[in-house]
Amino acid sequence: MSSIPMRYSEILVVGAGPAGLAAATAAASAGAQVTVLDDNPGCGGQIWRSGVASANIAQDPAREATIRGFRDSKTSLLAGRRVIDSGPSQTLRTYVEETGVIETFTWDRLILATGARERFLPFPGWTLPGVFGAGGLQALVKGGYSVAGKRIVVAGTGPLLLAVAAHLQEDGAEIVAVAEQAGLSSMLRFATKLLSHPAKLMQGARYRATLNRVPYRTGCWPVVAEGSAKLAGVRLTNGTHTWTELCDLLACGFHLVPNTEFAVLLGCKLKDDYVAVDPTQKTSVENVYCVGEPTGIAGLDAALVQGEIAGLAAAKRETQAQALFKRRDRERAFGKGLDRAFALRPELRTLAQPNTIVCRCEDVRYAQLQSQPSWTDAKLQTRCGMGPCQGRICGPAVQTLFGWQNTSIRPPIFPIPLSALISAPTSSEITQLQETL
């Protein structure tokens, strides 16, 4: 029993992206004892994922300030830990892939900062080597994949596309085109809204200036990724004309979807696919807060201020937290503007052909799904969503294609080896251990 690893934190934060770091720093500066868990090898989340040689990243002042604040707060960061389930009475378990060990954590207050992932929509050829997520390719470049000299088409939707294209170009890639499915009028409306967020407008303008020789096509989307063994080109359309851009790589993502799996497992209520929170970022579950993208896709500034509010509130500094509500609400309004500006056009639901793979884990094709009445039937009859990603990629796709909702989240929320589960402590052992704490 004494060998079972079990750690207590007054405040436990899941996720070390901007929202989680801001929450941890605020809580720690209010005197709370805080621990932060993250799946990635280091802190920063996806937007501040550090690179092999971080030439460009060092110039990001918000990142530098937030990470410095976090380090100065002396909060402990436990990286390389993936949350797999929740146990009895305010415990959760993580799996450390490096060692194969399952650890148990217990908390008084829990802050979920689990971020978002890209939305992928199936179209012919999207499983070819050479096709990546947009943020996905950027992350892989930060992980040391060189795109120097590669011809790249960036396609899909969302503000991420421009940022990714600009960074890939800085890394030596030739950006052939940026294809944004949202129409010009909706983009212009969004740009007008940005006048009240001048910093964001400036950032967009900087990316656009970096890409001044690259065609940025609004109202334009990919229909086929062409190639046999690997990608050779992308067929794009604007609804009237269809043409092929030859390229080596396609970076394609359709905005973001929230990572709400752990919140749902804990019993947190959702509203419109997002974790419902009160003004202090508290969820429907006692002592559980949620910050950043799982509460609504609104970007970096929203994540930082929400994190700070939850960190202060969890450390019983509600009055200080209240001073930040106005700024948070402004950022949330920006997020709603994003949702409207980059809403998916209906044509995107018609890209998959009968033999197009929808579920990449189980290679389930569109034709197999068409006759299914629901997500549950699709899972039972075709194994769609039953593979290692547990429906994280095909779930949002079938929601867009067929309107199916992913209803069942069951532990473990990520696949782990049976050997690790077997050697981990049981619930009754955890309860006994808690009593001795």
Partner 1 sequence: MPRDSSPTDRIRIWLNGTSIEVSEGVMASAAFLAAEVPCRVSVTGESRTALCGMGICLECRATVDGIPHRRTCQLPCRDGMRLETQS
Q: Which residues bind partner 1 (CB under 8 A)?
A: 39-41, 46, 49, 51-56, 80, 82, 97, 117-118, 120, 127, 129-133, 135-146, 148, 170-172, 229-230, 259, 357, 360-363, 387-389, 392-393, 415, 417
Q: How many CA atoms lie within 13 A of 50 on its CB side?
A: 12
Cα distances from 314 to residues 177, 193, 291, 357, in angstroms, run 46, 33, 12, 44
Report the alpha-carbon distance of residue 303 to residue 295 in Å, rounded.
9
Helix or strand (DSSP H, E) at 139 = helix 134-142
Report the alpha-carbon distance of residue 273 to residue 263 in Å, rounded.
11
Which is closer to partner 1, CB of 256 or CB of 277?
256
Helix or strand (DSSP H, E) at 207 = helix 198-210
Shortest distance in whole angstroms from residue 328 CB to partner 1: 26
Which is closer to partner 1, CB of 85 or CB of 308?
85
Shortest distance in whole angstroms from residue 125 CB to partner 1: 11
Shortest distance in whole angstroms from residue 53 CB to partner 1: 3
Shortest distance in whole angstroms from residue 361 CB to partner 1: 7
What is the DSSP secondary-structure string of 243-299? EEEE-SEEEEEESEEE--HHHHHHTPPEETTEE---TT-B-SSTTEEE-SGGG----
Shortest distance in whole angstroms from residue 103 CB to partner 1: 17
Which is closer to partner 1, CB of 326 or CB of 410?
410
Which is closer to partner 1, CB of 141 or CB of 155?
141
Which is closer to partner 1, CB of 137 or CB of 153?
137
Cα distances from 391 to residues 85, 121, 255, 368, in angstroms, run 17, 13, 17, 16
Q: Which amino acid is at 343?
A: A
Pairing type for strands 256-258 and 116-118 reads: antiparallel
Which is closer to partner 1, CB of 135 or CB of 335?
135
Which is closer to partner 1, CB of 207 or CB of 334?
207
